[in-house]
Copies of this chain bind each other. A is one copy, B any other.
Amino acid sequence: MKVAVVGASGYTGLELLRILLRHPELEIAAVTSEQRAGLPVGDAFPALRGRLDLRFESVDPGALAGRVELAFTALPHAASAAAVAALRASGCRVVDLSADFRLRSLETYETWYGAHPAPALLDDAVYGLPELHREALRGASLVAAPGCYPTSVLIPLAPILRAGLVEPHGIHIDAKSGVSGAGRTLADGYLFAELDGNCRAYKPGFSHRHAPEIEQEASRAAGSEVRVTFVPHLLPTTRGIATSVYLRPRTGDAAAAREALRDAYAGEPFVRVLREGELPSLQSVRGSNFCDVALVDDARNDTWILLSTLDNLCKGASGQAVQCANLACGLPETMGLLETAPQP
């Protein structure tokens, strides 16, 4: 099945290419990049030298019609929605990696991102977290691949909320991300010399764009309004998110919480619920599509801590997008995705 990667020059686009190159059924037929149109892909990205004999095309969704059955769109928000609308109009299935179709409320979208270029498509989009919405993803024509932070929060948190085991307000999320989450943004703050050995919180409280996305999906899982405080941090590394979620249990039955996690993920190919005493690390998941999860009980302070790790570019973005594409296209869900994290 021929696919296109629209907006392939950013880090999620590159990661898509890397995964698709090992995918036995999805074949990269077109890659687009406005800035690099005309350039051979291997010239722009030396890791791909000799691996992919294509040139970047400029973004022209019409030109892709008929050439590909599926497109991954990895453009900045708003630009992505416009491309998605054109691709959908030509009958192309789309997995969108931007934020444009993640929020179900147009009002919330516009509060955080500004005007939406294709609001009519919002209802068609399925939130692409297979562990929460697998059935809706099968055969889906438009998938909104989740944000990296929301994935790292929702995988451990959703089963606990669904089981009604914790207070839905006063949830504290402390997340630490590798720098690639910021993409290839050219700003002082992302220079090597500014981040080497550094660590800093940014957009703390409820000011990061992933915060409303977390609350939307957490509230769906809980069946009632969830409130979170979200404090993301930059880590001095490139890939990976380590997240801690602090919860106030309603009953203090940590065994029930552990069981809720195990039940939810017993058959899941990419979520590993660790045994009591084991703790997740970035190194165990970096470069892979796995998400490792643990629950720690601090009964003396009426607190549970959920810990999770994943690779922000893979399970947090492009790996998950391919997982959704597999589901949407009727392929085995794990196809092309069972790579083990390199250790070390």
Residues on A facing B (Cβ under 8 Å): 11, 14-15, 17-18, 21-22, 45-51, 169-172, 174, 176, 178-180, 184, 186-188, 190-202, 204-206, 227-229, 231, 233, 235-240, 242, 244, 246, 248, 272, 274, 278-288, 290, 292, 296-298, 300-303, 305, 307, 309, 313, 338-344
Contacts and interface: CB of A to CB of B under 8 A. Distances in A.
A303 B302 CA distance: 17
A239 B32 CA distance: 31
A169 B302 contact: yes
A282 B227 CA distance: 29
A35 to B, nearest CB: 11
A233 B199 CA distance: 12
A48 B307 CA distance: 19
A344 B238 contact: yes
Which 3 residue pairs across A and B have the least CB separation, nearest first? A200-B281, A205-B298, A193-B344
A17 B342 CA distance: 10
A248 B199 CA distance: 25
Nearest to A18: B340
Contacts of A176: 176, 199, 233
A47 B341 contact: yes
Given A47-B283, A49-B292, A344-B238, A193 B300 contact: no
Contacts of A50: 272, 290
Contacts of A272: 49-50
Contact of A46 (B169, B227, B278): B278
Among A178, A278, A298, the most chain B Cβ lie within 10 Å of the Cβ of: A298
B170 A307 contact: no
Among A15, A248, A342, the most chain B Cβ lie within 10 Å of the Cβ of: A342
A218 B287 CA distance: 36
A197 B152 CA distance: 18
B298 A196 contact: no
A184 B195 CA distance: 12
A47 B285 contact: yes
Nearest to A187: B186
A34 B94 CA distance: 47
A236 B235 contact: yes
22 contacts: A11-B193, A18-B340, A21-B338, A22-B339, A46-B283, A169-B301, A170-B301, A176-B199, A192-B194, A194-B283, A196-B237, A197-B237, A199-B281, A200-B279, A201-B307, A204-B244, A204-B305, A204-B307, A229-B303, A238-B344, A239-B342, A339-B339
A143 to B, nearest CB: 23
A282 B199 contact: yes
B296 A205 contact: yes
Contacts of A242: 199-201, 233
A27 B235 CA distance: 36
A199 to B, nearest CB: 5
A178 B196 CA distance: 11
Nearest to A271: B50
